[in-house]
Amino acid sequence: MPTAKELQAMKSKHNVLATFSYDKPKVDKGYANQTLYVNIESNEIKSKPVTQDMKDKFIGGRGFDLWLLWHAVNDDTRWDSPENEICIATGPIGGTTQYPGTGKSLVTTISPTTEQVIDSNVGGYFGPLLKFSGWDALEIQGKATEEIIIVIDGEESTVTIETAPEEPVDTHILSEILTDMYAEDEDDRRNVSVVSAGRGAEHALIGCLNFSLWDVRRGGIRVKQAGRGGIGSVFRNKKLKALVVRQPGVSGDSNNPADLNVIQKTGVKMHREICTEDHRQERMRTTGTPHLIEVMNAYDLLPVHNFQYGKHDDTPKITSDVWFKLFTQGIPDGCWYGCSMACAKTVENFELRTGPYKGEIVRVDGPEYETAAGVGSNCGIFDPAAILELNFYCDTYGVDTISWGTTVAFLMECYERGIINKEHTGGLELKFGNREASLELLHQVARGEGFGLIAGQGIRRIKKIFADKFGADINFLNDIGMENKGLEYSQYVSKESLAQQGGYALTNKGPQHDEAWLIFMDMVNNQIPTFEDKAEALHYFPLWRTWFGLNGLCKLPWNDVTPADNPETDEPNKVPEHVDNYVKLFNGVTGMNITREEIILQSKRVYDFQRVFNIRLGKGLRKFDAQPYRAAGPVTKEEYESRAERYDGQLKELVGFDPEGKSTEEKLAALRVYKEDQYEKLMDSVYKRRGWTENAVPKIETLKEIGIDYPEIVEVVKRHL
Amino acid sequence: MITVNGRNVDWESGLTVAGLIKKMNYIFPQIFVTINGDLIKKDDYDTTPVSDGDAVEIIHMIAGG
Ligand code: SF4
């Protein structure tokens, strides 16, 4: 860390390009009622009002982001067009301190990898501090010509655009420097949050953003990631080095809620439940999300070797007992005030063994399950130290761990199958399990050199390069390259759950599990056997989960702990008591009087709007919901033969094909015809349930019914009817 | 023969709820069990027998991820 003098010298090099002073509104019932527009090309900064219609139809968070983005771009806007924006917002409940999981920020942009709208949900303090500084959302447009930062100071009621030529780009250094630079004193550091990327995001299209929080107990910075879809790459393409917000004085009533009492009561009940149930259920407070490693392995759902398999003999080396020992215990690790679920675990005093920071002792935020499975098991790397090192470097370089893991797994399979060799990789032996190669490749991404320049493009572009330049078979690459819409799959094997195949690919943004996770309901519980059942689940759960993003909420406290009497309720999978908690929270903050059903309607408006937005950008239709075959079934002989009993059984019972005496190739082909047909039927059922056409276009009557039949939305839809 | 979540599973003499969960390798902690529609308390998994012909539901509550 630089000394105070060095910090001062660095700051003295800042050139303030624009200053905007504003009257800070008092947040009222969860809303500041204005949004902040910053153009880093023209240096224009202005305030925009939040209309009642915006609040009624788009609620906040991702809804506000999308509405602002929609008006900022045109039909031809691409990820690196100047008019593309990065929008950040929490929502009306965001910033509540009495209930767990209430401090999330939602980030949207047009993605470099999917070339349509991406949204990402992230912890850290930025979104709530932004709102309490007077802004429900921030939209950043334009491209700067030199390295800049945007500083929002809620106490001074100013917004500045400043050049920042000397600060390093990598997150773990930059976020600490800027926190120290803009905090008045040591105590004030808790009131500062920094958004940054890293040098990897400069050279890769799978860049992420890191949102910081000052951890008072540890006396240091922690970061949470808006990982998916390359938002960090857009950030660096705009020459944005960082965003800084400072807002002292967060308190239990900063949202000025309509009924603080009901929020407090609901919160106390929930904290009590976490206290009594978490250690009996998922142990989120001690092991975080990595407890899922052994669970997924047991159900053959843990991705291994590029999603070929669902379990591995070496999995015990990376299960929760290992992480439990590595994570610091006894410190409540929430990513916003008041989160008693506290699952954002860290590993302290980790010594780096490679790269530019080799030998340094650092804090690693994580790993989350997704990271441990992605850069770990999926790449055949069952070494906690390597997973931690990859986790750290992905974060500080601003590279999405999920996309990185899935991409490297794909590259390793290509290497092992001889599609690429050392000549292509510049000497890297990209075999499954080669942790040194995975790390070196990541450092190459950060340095912008070698095979790293290809690896950072994401799977969709890599497939094209391999086919065009290296003569690879594009059909095979399409079968094993785990991406849909250009987004890399998150870390669950969906082969045995048709509903989850839809949960991944019949999405707006691409295969990220935060829309729907239906594997247990479908594959294990057998609760949704028919197409209609699956379609109903793929109607309800994505909408239910969308609602978290409208309100600045974390999904985990909804169902990663459940009330002791949840099994006795009518619909345990929906966790009815928690649904009621959220209704109370929303009404308690906003003073409205919504019901459970209106939650779904609120989400439906934003969800269908996002679909229309994608259609407007030339995507969003049925053909873009196609999945790689490996998401549905075995692509190769080895995959089939590793689970021959299962697949032979499916051929007999489901397909009516007698596997006796047939070659593996014949069996693979017969199973594939069946599975592909099932997926097409699923699409038909889901689109019908969602009120969309067979081509996945929301019908005009659907838009009317949910009240978003604005002329410009209807106009986009009409082109496809 | 019994059914577990609507699918046939071999029955064996002396089978308990706890034994069945183990046999199925259902290690996920957030589950609940019904036998012929009756909810079985967690504390009783070790002592509750599963009889031939029972319809058992072992519901995993996560809709997770
Ligand atoms: S449950 Fe975990 S991820 Fe969610 S807000 Fe709390 S600490 Fe953060």
- At B51, which CATH number? 3.10.20.30
**Spatial separation of the C-alpha atoms in residues A62 and A480, rounded to whole Å:** 32
**What confidence tier does B62 reach under pLDDT thresholds 50, 70, 90?**
confident
Say whether pLDDT at A341 is over 60.
yes
Residues A318-324, mean pLDDT to the nearest whole number:
97
DSSP string, A339-393: -TT-B--EEEEEEP-SSTTTT-EEEEE---HHHIIIIIGGGT---HHHHHHHHHH
Residues of A with CB under 8 A from a CB of B: 280-282, 292, 294-295, 298-299, 490, 492, 513-514, 516-518, 520-521, 524-527, 529, 541, 559-560, 562, 566-568, 572-575
pLDDT of res. A414: 98
Q: Length of chain A, please?
A: 721
Contact between residue A224 and residue A123 where contact means Cβ atoms under 8 Å apart: yes
Domain A276-488 sits in CATH at 1.10.569.10
pLDDT of res. B63: 55
Residues A315-322, mean pLDDT to the nearest whole number:
97
Read off the tokens for A290: 């990595």
Say whether pLDDT at B39 is over 80.
yes
Query: Does a structural domain hold residue B65?
Result: no
Residue for token digits 């240096």? A43
DSSP letter, residue A24: P
Question: Cα torsion at B61, B63, B64, B65 (round to 10°)?
Answer: 150
In this structure, the strands spanning B55-60 and B38-40 are unpaired
Is the CATH code 1.10.599.10 the one for domain A498-718? yes
The total of structural domains in chain B comes to: 1
**What confidence tier does A2 reach under pLDDT thresholds 50, 70, 90?**
confident
What is the pTM for the complete model shown?
0.97
Read off the tokens for A231: 């938002």
pLDDT tens column, A75-122: 999 999 999 999 999 999 999 999 999 999 999 999 999 999 999 999
Q: Which domain holds residue B14?
A: 2-60
Contact between residue A209 and residue A122 where contact means Cβ atoms under 8 Å apart: yes
Say whether pLDDT at B64 is over 80.
no
Q: What percent of chain A has pLDDT over 70?
A: 100
**Spatial separation of the C-alpha atoms in residues A259 and A276, rounded to whole Å:** 27
**What confidence tier does A622 reach under pLDDT thresholds 50, 70, 90?**
very high
**What confidence tier does B27 reach under pLDDT thresholds 50, 70, 90?**
very high
**What confidence tier does B40 reach under pLDDT thresholds 50, 70, 90?**
very high
On average, the pLDDT of chain A sits at: 97
Report residue A478: phi and psi, to 5°. Answer: -65, -30
Interface test with B, best of A285, A319, A343, A524 (most B CBs within 10 A): A524
Residue ranges of chain A that CATH labels 1.10.599.10? 498-718
DSSP letter, residue A316: G
Three-state secondary-structure class, residue A248: coil
Report residue A168: phi and psi, to 5°. Answer: -70, 160
Which H/E stretch holds residue A35?
strand A34-39
Looking at the complex, does the CB of residue B25 fall below 8 Å from at least one CB of chain A? yes
What is the distance in A from the centroid of ligand 1 to the CA of A288? 9
Ligand 1 atom having least distance to the Cα of A335? 8
Which H/E stretch holds residue A716?
helix A711-718
Nearest Cα residue to A41 out of A81, A88, A70, A68: A81
Say whether pLDDT at A629 is over 60.
yes
**Spatial separation of the C-alpha atoms in residues A92 and A50, rounded to whole Å:** 12
**What confidence tier does A1 reach under pLDDT thresholds 50, 70, 90?**
confident
**Spatial separation of the C-alpha atoms in residues A126 and A210, rounded to whole Å:** 10
The packing angle between helices A4-12 and A171-182, to 10°, is 90
ipTM of this predicted complex?
0.96
Which H/E stretch holds residue A605?
helix A596-616
Going from the C-alpha of A491 to that of each of A164, A394, A404, A439, A510, the distances in angstroms are 37, 17, 11, 19, 13
Ligand 1 atom having least distance to the Cα of A560? 1
Query: Does a structural domain hold residue B19?
Result: yes
**Spatial separation of the C-alpha atoms in residues A502 and A483, rounded to whole Å:** 13
Q: Is the CB of B6 less than 8 angstroms away from the CB of A529?
A: yes
**Spatial separation of the C-alpha atoms in residues A620 and A589, rounded to whole Å:** 34
**What confidence tier does A488 reach under pLDDT thresholds 50, 70, 90?**
very high
Say whether pLDDT at B65 is over 80.
no
Q: Where are the alpha helices (DSSP H) in A73-164?
A: 126-132
pLDDT of res. A616: 98
Q: How close A48 comes to chain B (CA, Å)?
A: 36
Which H/E stretch holds residue A599?
helix A596-616
Fold designation for A4-246: Aldehyde Ferredoxin Oxidoreductase;  A, domain 1 (3.60.9)
Q: How close A310 comes to chain B (CA, Å)?
A: 14
Q: Residue A607 is which amino acid? A: Y
Residue ranges of chain A that CATH labels 1.10.569.10? 276-488
Contact between residue A628 and residue A484 where contact means Cβ atoms under 8 Å apart: yes
Query: Does a structural domain hold residue B27?
Result: yes
Contact between residue A221 and residue A176 where contact means Cβ atoms under 8 Å apart: yes
Residues A366-381, mean pLDDT to the nearest whole number:
97
Contact between residue A342 and residue A284 where contact means Cβ atoms under 8 Å apart: yes
Say whether pLDDT at A431 is over 60.
yes
**Spatial separation of the C-alpha atoms in residues A147 and A291, rounded to whole Å:** 41
Cross-strand partners of A506: none
Which positions ≥6 away from A221 have C-beta within 8 Å? A172, A175, A176, A179, A194, A212, A213, A214, A215
pLDDT of res. A407: 98
Count the alpha carbons within 13 Å of A234 in the hemisphere toward its beta carbon.
Answer: 34
